[in-house]
Structure 1
Amino acid sequence: MASLAMVAGALLPVAASSPASAASAPQQNAYVANFGSATVSVINAVTQSVTATIPVGSHPAGVAVTPNGTRAYVANYSDNNVSVIDTSTNTVTTTIPVGNGPVGLAITPDGSHLYVADSGDAAVAVIDTASNTVIATVPAGGNDVSVAITPNGSRAYVVNNGGNTVTVIDTSTNTVTATIPVGRSPDWAAITPDGARVYVTNSADSTVSVIDTSGNTVTTTIPVGADPFGAAVTPDGSHVYITNFIDSSVSVIATASNTVTATITGFTGPGLVAVNADGSQAYVGDFSDSTVSVIDTASNTITSAISVGSAPYGIAFGPAAARGPSLTITKRHPGKFTRGAIGTYRISVGNASGAGPTDGSTVTVHDTLPAGLLATRIGGPGWQCTLATLTCSRNGVLAAGRHYPPIMLQARISCTAPKQVTNSVTVTGGGDPHTHTATDPTHVKGDPPRQHCRP
């Protein structure tokens, strides 16, 4: 695709984020910018389900995730800014003004800087991710649409769709060091893990240019399908996946021979592609039917399609954000209570399955007895309890899916206790920012012999 263009009433994509932002973590999320619905879909790559939909700016295009997975950056083409998403809460925390028509973007391997292709300004904005501010603007040819950064972070390769070139930026000085002629209407660049080659899609020529980074020259040109657009290299560097928009196909290039070894069909206007950290799957955004197709790279077949927002554009993998602890609390009692007798409650505190471990800080349980009940004893193994305040606390790390030893609370039931009482208890701490509450409605029996009943 030569540019963002109105085709059949829909804006077609040009470029997106760099797969260099994917990190090697066993559990990953995929972040998909939905160009037509101003949202980002978060996909759990294990369950292949959408776990969150995040509102961002108008016409989000490229997306990139920091190496530690804590933030995702989204280029909002029509708003001329970049949204910053906190991946632990899946909310936008700030918006960074950039140049006109930002499209593709890529983060340096150390996570310190973000490079944004501003297509309307023929320039690249450089953002310091510590302050989330633009610290430099680098002129870079015409209609810059995508950026890819070498694995050592020393160079950024910027695709100039309008100039039929690729601009090379020295990231230490943010100056242009080379301009490389490629095919017509180039859209996307992907760099091999060793940094030796850059693969550039040429949409108007239906080819892929291969750049040797040692001399910054094109060494070969590979014929692919009609209107090649997205490109992604597998983590082992053995294959490159190229999306062909008009053909609704994906060409698989073997980097050892620089030839197409497979062509995958069954898409509907494939736009961009990203490969997960272990190289087992490639995600392809089907721009025309608002799905993400999942390719099994071992068999090069489509195994599933995930519904996302309208016109999925940029796709980037990132490690799943570290989850914090999520305390649980329950309170139970056996049978009915009897006026004048002793009743016992069992309080259990745990950490939810799938949560992160507690951080070792103090966990505090506080019970509130209703009128008609008088506490006589409270305690449990490892708990430090105070009867006067009905408070118990302890330290130590609690793993997900595990429970502390229970707390036993005994109370005498007054002769005047109502027929039903409700006890409540809370738990806080351990790194969980929330207060969790449990209640236990209890039925009270009639009076026992008078000598055992106390008001």
Structure 2
Amino acid sequence: MALRRLARSLGSLATALGVAFALPATADAASTARQESALVVEKTVNTPTPFSQGQVVTYTVVASNSEFATPSGTVIVGDQPAGPGLFILNMQGTNWTCGGECIYTGPALEAGADYPPITVTAEVAETAPSEVCNTAFVRTTASSGISDEDTVCSPVTQSPPADPAELSIAKSHSGTFSQGGTGTYTLTVSNASGAGPTEGTVTVTDTLPAGVTYNNATGNGWTCSQAAGTVTCTRSDELDPGESYPPITLTVNVTSGAACGFTNSATVSGGGSQSDTASDATAVGGGTCNGGNGGNGGNGGGGSILPISLSGLVPMFNNIAVNNNIDSPGATNTTNQDFAVNGS
């Protein structure tokens, strides 16, 4: 601050006396360009460098009156990024009213005096480049040009890319599925040990096979819906490596015309992971499955295991036919007999 203030002071004095002074070689270009400025600003970094991506950092900004010039009107100080990777969070200081900029509300200062310091808090972006810069400035009114500015650049340590999540899904069913009944599947999403945490939305989809319709889908933390036979469940909370989300319970209706066996598949995607699919082969009983009315013989719960035709085996009869004569357990015996004596 002393050197910058001295540059302004010499410039102001030279202007008043009509004398030209050569500024020290170390004075910066901004100082040279605004020798006669009434206000000076200087910015320092409080947080040790290099910064880290995602870190919150602070700066101190001090505005001063030049030695031989007294500012008039309002004094305004601001700070803004001078490139990508840095976000200004807030500014505050005694006798300053701060929003996007800080307006001085305290008593007037003597020439050469410093205004109360302003603390600037900023955040380094997670994707910040190897250097971030920001510029503090001071001016006398909202409509006036900048009286002075000071830009500070700081190095940023680049973090190695995080390991991606590695999601998998497991699918199973419980109990026996029957035609005309309901069935339950359980879907569980896990993240592999040694992988990274999930980022963003994780989505589970399950397209129901023919003969199966949606009944309900629930799971702690999951938001589930169904459209055109496809069940979709989503969530956005982070899943750490080696952990699993709460399971999804999917209840389905099995139609009376469903096949006696089908395979149901579910897929997990998103979260920064490659997708994964799991399938579950499901057998169906009841109705026309497992020896029902679709089998040979009987009109009940079992099928005939020995249909017999005795036609021509007994000479005395022209025709003897017995159908479904010996039935499996649970079947009802139904016979159809036609006795005709030879020659009659």
- When Rg is computed on C-alpha atoms for both structures, the one with the higher figure is 2
More helix by share: 2
More strand by share: 1
TM-score by length of structure 1 reads 0.27
TM-score by length of structure 2 reads 0.36
